[in-house]
């Protein structure tokens, strides 16, 4: 029987088994077991609450619970009791992804109930939307009127089973929710519903649909206003690659456009990846007291083996939080200023000529680098991180192709591969902020124009940091801080 209490007790009794190797230090992870999507991200009563898709019993996906954490600065997290367990008839096979909002001072969650309806679990299921409310921000009661949106409210001609991941927002006193779905013919799409009382919901419209290039099912939509524009972020499944973009099995994309809330339509011109690395999915955003729009994603990829699943008793981490900034027709993703308070042991060097490999005299497995390269004549230049013997993780720039690359072929155990993305130099300069945390690398390129995230599993002794150039170039500045 899945209950919140059983889940908490199971974890408390077994936490001692957890292996520390590869555990991150300033990223969110579950205490034990499996984690996927961020859910219910909200700034409420003076602190950030984050929930997440959680299967505490094994480090593999299973009937979904909602884990729950709070944080003051999104760097250090405190674990709270499990918020939702699949303990009702309407959610017995999982409390799938959803969002949080505040109403009358109370924290509300809206989530998808998942029900398996036949022997073929992967294909025979249906989904509905539910609400749970908390008086104290910790213990949640599911409404007796659940489900508040059932599969019978799916418009005809669409998938009758994929109907999930409600993200709630309010406009002019009315609640709206976007949901991910598909047309049953290989096109992902987003549905919009509205309600005045949270109990009765009516269908407004299908606001966007894949033109055939954007995946066969859309998950985890998030629709918000930013700088007078409407932004849609969502995660298309099985989106075919487009050049160097969308190389992972499932992707995440953003569109800047205009929502016509009366008509139920969203107009956009183009779409761009949210992250160009290996491991980023199902992100969710919130706004904090300072008005910042902040996004966090799941720093993993579906349907791959995660090394900590074998004998480590945990799997899954979230990315660092990133501030989302509208910059013309694009979004920038930047590390939060809160990271600065965790910088220790500053090291700084400037005007360094590079020809071949240079050992940077500093090392580590949990740090931030801020580096500015002057490209000069070099064909290729970059950084080698987590280096020892044969191991290295390479971040490089190739001038001829205007291409930035993240290569983890020699990173250690786990999956290898390379991801590439187009980056233009600015006055011949390339500016990077790199965050390394035990088993992760996140690189913010040219002030957040592009971000690449990936998990790596190097040996504990692979701590070296090198810069290199094929040809001649220089580093205008190289700064490193340990993060503690
Ligand atoms: C996205 C997703 C969601 C679903 C959840 C289940 O990663 O597939 O669509 O709600 O994970 O855990």
Pairwise CA distance, residues 256 & 266, whole Å = 9
- The pLDDT, as a whole number, for residue 105 is 97
CB of 336 closer than 8 Å to CB of 321: yes
- Tell me the C-alpha to C-alpha distance, in Å, between residue 11 and each of 19, 127, 164, 393: 14, 28, 28, 34
Interval 36-77: pLDDT, tens: 999 999 999 999 999 999 999 999 999 999 999 999 999 999
Ligand 1 nearest atom to the CA of residue 235, by list position: 1
- The pLDDT, as a whole number, for residue 76 is 98
Q: Across residues 455-476, what is the average pLDDT?
A: 98
- Ligand 1 geometric centre to CA of 37 (Å): 7
Q: What is the DSSP string of 195-222?
A: ESSSSS-EEEEEEEE--SSS-SEEEEEE
- Ligand 1 geometric centre to CA of 129 (Å): 14
End-to-end, the C-alpha distance of the chain in Å comes to: 40
Q: Which of 30, 34, 37, 54 to mutate to test the pocket of ligand 1 (most atoms within 8 A of CB)?
A: 37
How many other CB atoms are there within 10 angstroms of residue 455's CB atom? 26
Interval 5-23: pLDDT, tens: 999 999 999 999 999 999 9
- Alpha-carbon torsion 69, 386, 458, 379, what sign? positive
Residue of 352, 317, 326, 282 whose CA lies nearest to 435: 317
Q: Across residues 158-167, what is the average pLDDT?
A: 98
Interval 382-415: pLDDT, tens: 999 999 999 999 999 999 999 999 999 999 999 9
- Ligand 1 geometric centre to CA of 397 (Å): 34
- This prediction has a pTM of 0.98
- Ligand 1 geometric centre to CA of 359 (Å): 43
Pairwise CA distance, residues 298 & 261, whole Å = 29
Domains and CATH numbers, the chain: 4-11+19-337 (2.115.10.20), 344-483 (2.60.120.560)
Residue of 71, 101, 21 whose CA lies nearest to 320: 71
For the chain, the maximum distance between any two Cα atoms, rounded to a whole number of angstroms, is 69
Rg (CA), the chain: 22
Residue of 294, 351, 340, 348 whose CA lies nearest to 318: 294
Q: What's the token pair of residue 131?
A: 């609400």
- Ligand 1 geometric centre to CA of 343 (Å): 34
Interval 135-151: pLDDT, tens: 999 999 999 999 999 99
- Looking up tokens 């007796």 gives 144
Interval 268-281: pLDDT, tens: 999 999 999 999 99
Binning pLDDT at 50, 70 and 90, where does residue 244 land? very high
Ligand 1 binding site (Cβ under 6 Å of any ligand atom): 36-37, 53, 64, 96-97, 112, 164-165, 219-220, 281-282
Query: Pairing relation of β-strands 314-315 and 33-44?
Result: parallel
Q: What percent of the chain has pLDDT over 90?
A: 100
DSSP structural state of residue 8: H
Q: Across residues 184-207, what is the average pLDDT?
A: 98
Q: Which of 52, 130, 165, 239 to mutate to test the pocket of ligand 1 (most atoms within 8 A of CB)?
A: 165
Residue of 128, 251, 230, 248 whose CA lies nearest to 188: 251
Residue 252 CA, chain-centre distance (Å), reads 9
Q: Across residues 97-120, what is the average pLDDT?
A: 98
- The pLDDT, as a whole number, for residue 136 is 97
CA angle (188, 192, 196) in 5-degree steps? 160
Q: Catalytic residues, which ones?
A: 37
Q: What's the token pair of residue 305?
A: 């083996």
Interval 173-188: pLDDT, tens: 999 999 999 999 999 9
Ligand 1 nearest atom to the CA of residue 37, by list position: 7
CB of 130 closer than 8 Å to CB of 113: yes
Q: What is the DSSP string of 407-461?
A: E-TTSSBS---EEEEE---BTTEEEEEEEEESSEEEEEETTTTEEEEEE-B--TT
């Amino acid at each position: 029987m899945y209950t919140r209490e059983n889940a908490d007790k199971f974890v408390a009794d077994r936490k001692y088994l957890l292996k520390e190797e590869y555990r991150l230090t300033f990223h969110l992870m579950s205490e034990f077991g499996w984690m996927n999507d961020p859910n219910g991200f909200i700034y409420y009563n003076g602190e950030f609450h984050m929930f997440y898709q959680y299967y505490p019993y094994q480090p593999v996906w299973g009937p979904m619970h909602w884990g729950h954490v709070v944080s003051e600065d999104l760097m250090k997290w405190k674990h709270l009791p499990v918020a939702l367990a699949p303990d009702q008839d309407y959610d017995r096979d999982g409390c799938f992804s959803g969002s949080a909002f505040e109403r009358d001072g109370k924290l509300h969650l809206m989530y998808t109930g998942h029900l398996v309806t036949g022997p073929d679990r992967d294909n025979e299921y249906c989904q509905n939307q539910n609400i749970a409310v908390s008086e104290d921000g910790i213990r949640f009661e599911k409404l007796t009127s659940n489900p508040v949106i059932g599969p019978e409210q799916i418009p005809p001609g669409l998938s009758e089973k994929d109907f999930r991941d409600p993200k709630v927002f309010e406009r002019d006193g009315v609640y709206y929710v976007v949901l991910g779905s598909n047309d049953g013919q290989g096109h992902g799409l987003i549905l919009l519903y509205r309600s005045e009382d949270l109990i009765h919901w009516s269908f407004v419209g299908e606001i966007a649909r894949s033109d055939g290039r954007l995946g066969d099912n859309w998950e985890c939509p998030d629709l918000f206003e930013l700088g007078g524009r409407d932004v849609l972020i969502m995660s298309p499944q099985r989106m075919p690659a487009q050049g160097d973009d969308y190389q992972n099995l499932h992707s995440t994309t953003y569109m800047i456009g205009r929502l016509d809330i009366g008509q139920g339509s969203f107009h956009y011109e183009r779409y761009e990846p949210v992250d160009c690395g290996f491991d980023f999915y199902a992100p969710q955003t919130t706004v904090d007291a300072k008005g910042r729009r902040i996004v966090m994603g799941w720093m993993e990829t579906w349907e791959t083996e995660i090394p900590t699943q074998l004998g480590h008793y945990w799997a899954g981490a979230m990315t660092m939080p990133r501030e989302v900034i509208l910059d013309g027709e694009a979004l920038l993703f930047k590390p939060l200023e809160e990271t600065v308070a965790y910088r220790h042991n500053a090291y700084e060097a400037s005007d360094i000529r590079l020809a071949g490999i240079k050992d940077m005299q500093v090392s580590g497995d949990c740090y931030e680098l801020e580096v500015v390269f002057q490209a000069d004549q070099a064909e290729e230049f970059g950084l080698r991180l987590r280096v020892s013997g044969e191991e290295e993780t390479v971040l490089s720039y190739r001038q001829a192709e205007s291409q930035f690359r993240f290569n983890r072929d020699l990173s250690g155990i786990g999956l290898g591969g390379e991801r590439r993305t187009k980056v233009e130099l600015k006055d011949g300069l390339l500016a990077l902020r790199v965050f390394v945390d035990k088993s992760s690398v996140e690189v913010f390129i040219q002030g957040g124009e592009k971000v690449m995230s990936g998990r790596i599993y190097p040996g504990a002794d692979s701590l070296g940091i090198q810069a290199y150039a094929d040809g001649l170039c220089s580093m205008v500045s190289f700064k490193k801080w340990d993060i503690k």
